[in-house]
Amino acid sequence: MPTPHNQAKIGEIAKNVLMPGDPLRAKFIADTFLTNVRLVNSVRNMLAFTGEYKGKEITVMASGMGMPSIGIYSYELYSQYGVESIVRVGSAGAYSEKLDLFDVVLAESAWSESSFAKTQNGYDKDVTYPDKELNEKIIETAKRLEIPVHLDRIHSSDVFYTESNVDGYKEISAKHGCTCVEMESFALFHNAKVLGKKAACLLTISDSFTSEKKATAEERQTAFVNMMKIALETFC
């Protein structure tokens, strides 16, 4: 049965899912890379498309912004739709000068100050991890495609705007080894671990805390093709 958040019928979502935050990025991926595409969910405009990439069935579904949102959608995909692997394809802000605009980062772990995991099942640590085998496959795929990838710890934040009395990016980077920030992967990795599934996170740097470089809204939707290609080829 469809969930309150997803009108797709059982069997309409593939075993492997690409999950951008932005619904329009999901549509871009489906329109650009998939064939035989069908819209399988539009509840709350959280668009999901199932199609084929090089003969392999793939679903692309938006997660929305933040851990509560991806927490709902990823949990339901894993537990109710039989999804085995989710690769988040998102944007991130660079904490390090070594990361330039549009560089691709593969998360080797996600540090967070979030209470998501503790609230969900009592997990009281501040780091969650992607699936090791899936990460290794992504690295091999990136090498084959000759696309450079940074393997780093990332910061998954619950808050976009913070005040000056709490740690800023410099302190977080120094204390926890994070090279960039996004808002979803800590929860995604936790859900996958709890449910015995696979998850990974590919990010494209869209802006930087160390410079004034910043991608436009249109570029955020359409210019992140390298990470999209890596994720799609990983599932072939």
- Enumerate the active-site residues: 207
Between vectors from CA 64 to CA 62 and to CA 69, what angle results, nearest 5°? 115
Q: What are phi and psi of 141, to 5 degrees?
A: -65, -45
Q: How far is CA 223 from CA 7, 43, 50, 105, 212, in A?
A: 29, 26, 21, 15, 18
Cα R_g (the chain), whole angstroms: 17
Helix (H, G, I), strand (E, B) or coil at 167: coil
Give the DSSP H/E element, type plus range, for residue 108: strand 104-111
Q: Quote the DSSP letter at residue 3.
A: B
Give the DSSP H/E element, type plus range, for residue 185: helix 185-195
Does residue 169 contact residue 175 with C-beta atoms inside 8 Å?
no
| Among 220, 200, 179, 201, CA closest to 93 | 179
